[in-house]
Amino acid sequence: MKVVLVRRDVKINLNEKHINDWHEQGAHVTHFFNALSVLFPAGERLFMDSVRAYKDQVQDPELKKAITTFIGQEALHSREHEEYNEMMDRSGLPALKLDKMLWNLLGGLQKTLGRKLALGGTIALEHYTAIMANAVLSDKNVLGEKSDESFRQMWQWHAYEETEHKAVAYDVWNTVMPDNVYNRFIRRFGMVLATLIFWPVIMYFHARLVFADPNTKGKHIQGYKAVGRMLLGKEGIFRKAVGEFFDYFKADFHPWEHDNSAFLKEIDAFVEKVNASMRNPNDEVKKAVRARMVKSAVAATAAA
């Protein structure tokens, strides 16, 4: 499937006063998404570095262009999540400490594993993000229709672009790695390794955020049940996607065999809605952010 990637300089004006309680299902679910946000700056740097390491071996001009746009999209995601994480830190949560911990962990893993396994881990984690992105876009209950609109916009934007570029790193792998038993083993091992790292890290980060938030005191049983239902309940993200997850281990797997490209037709209207929500002449903060978007877009165009 041919998908044309677009680098969109979207700036979400997050409602900082709701940083710890933006999700309609409560603080524990809020902090699950907040913990994901902590993962993204360092995680997306890993993705960018892993794909960039093989760019010179790619001859197809369309894939080369897709790699450049993939890196641009991930860089903008990192920028927005860095601001998101700083808001958490200002609220008293240890987001930046956890971020630093992850940078050190992933930096050490990159040096230890080498670039092939780093790319293998990247395509595995991109499969995870594709599953979660599809859940966000296909099920309104995941983000909650009554949740704070700015945070819903943040996660929807990220989900759209994760869906749009979900096959880029995988296509790089297929291009630069010979299709043999050893490389198929490495690809599958990358998913096992990514899973063994991802879930303990996200659970630890979630617990640190939850217990640092005084508003969660006395609500842990109910709160963790809500998170469990969202992930593993009858309509949970990963319970519904268990088949999609294990499809990754097939010899002929490709991300676009799970075709949810219909969502890509919604992106332009969504971005216009986000931009329109910032056009309030009586709000100086939004005006300043809008000016920053324009300046960044001009700079990006000049650089290209």
Query: pLDDT digit string (tens) for 17-56?
Result: 999 999 999 999 999 999 999 999 999 999 999 999 999 9
Task: Work out whether the CA dihedral 245, 250, 253, 257 comes out positive or negative.
Answer: negative
Task: Report the alpha-carbon distance of residue 21 to residue 273 in Å, rounded.
Answer: 23
Shared domain check, 287 and 161: no
Shared domain check, 255 and 286: no
CA dihedral 34, 37, 39, 45 (to 10 degrees): -170
Percent helix / strand / coil, the chain, rounded to 5: 75, 0, 25
**8 within some domain:** no
Task: Report the alpha-carbon distance of residue 176 to residue 282 in Å, rounded.
Answer: 53
Amino acid residing at 232: L
Shared domain check, 271 and 206: no
Task: Report the alpha-carbon distance of residue 36 to residue 230 in Å, rounded.
Answer: 14
**209 within some domain:** yes
Shared domain check, 73 and 152: yes
Shared domain check, 193 and 83: yes
Q: How far is residue 260 CA from its own chain's centroid? A: 17
Q: Could you tell me which residue, 107 or 289, shows the higher pLDDT?
A: 107
Supply the pLDDT for residue 231: 96
**248 within some domain:** yes
Shared domain check, 302 and 208: no
Kindly state the tokens that stand for 7. Answer: 């680098």
Shared domain check, 165 and 88: yes
Supply the pLDDT for residue 295: 55
Q: Which domain holds residue 268?
A: 261-304
Shared domain check, 182 and 116: yes
Shared domain check, 158 and 206: yes
**277 within some domain:** yes
Q: Does the structure show a pLDDT above 60 at 279?
A: no
Kindly state the tokens that stand for 113. Answer: 């594993």
**84 within some domain:** yes
Shared domain check, 241 and 150: yes
Name the one residue in this structure whose structure tokens are 């939004």. 286
Q: What is the DSSP string of 160-203?
A: HHHHHTTTHHHHHHHHHS--SHHHHHHHHHHHHHHHHHHHHHHH
For the entire predicted model, the pTM comes to 0.89
Can you give the CATH number for the domain in which 92 is found? 1.10.620
What total of structural domains would you count in the chain? Answer: 2
Shared domain check, 148 and 277: no
**13 within some domain:** no
Kindly state the tokens that stand for 284. Answer: 């100086």
Q: How far is residue 264 CA from its own chain's centroid? A: 16
DSSP annotation of 145 reads: T
Given pLDDT bands bounded at 50, 70 and 90, which one contains residue 275?
confident
**113 within some domain:** yes
Q: Using a CB cutoff of 8 Å and minimum separation of 24, what contacts does 176-184 make?
A: 176/54, 176/57, 176/58, 177/116, 184/251
Shared domain check, 198 and 90: yes
Kindly state the tokens that stand for 93. Answer: 């949560």
**16 within some domain:** no
Q: Give pLDDT tens digits for 178-211.
A: 999 999 999 999 999 999 999 999 999 999 999 9
Name the one residue in this structure whose structure tokens are 């300089």. 9
Q: Give pLDDT tens digits for 89-145.
A: 999 999 999 999 999 999 999 999 999 999 999 999 999 999 999 999 999 999 999
Q: Does the structure show a pLDDT above 80 at 245?
A: yes
Name the one residue in this structure whose structure tokens are 């299709």. 179
How close are the terminal C-alpha atoms of the chain, in Å?
A: 25
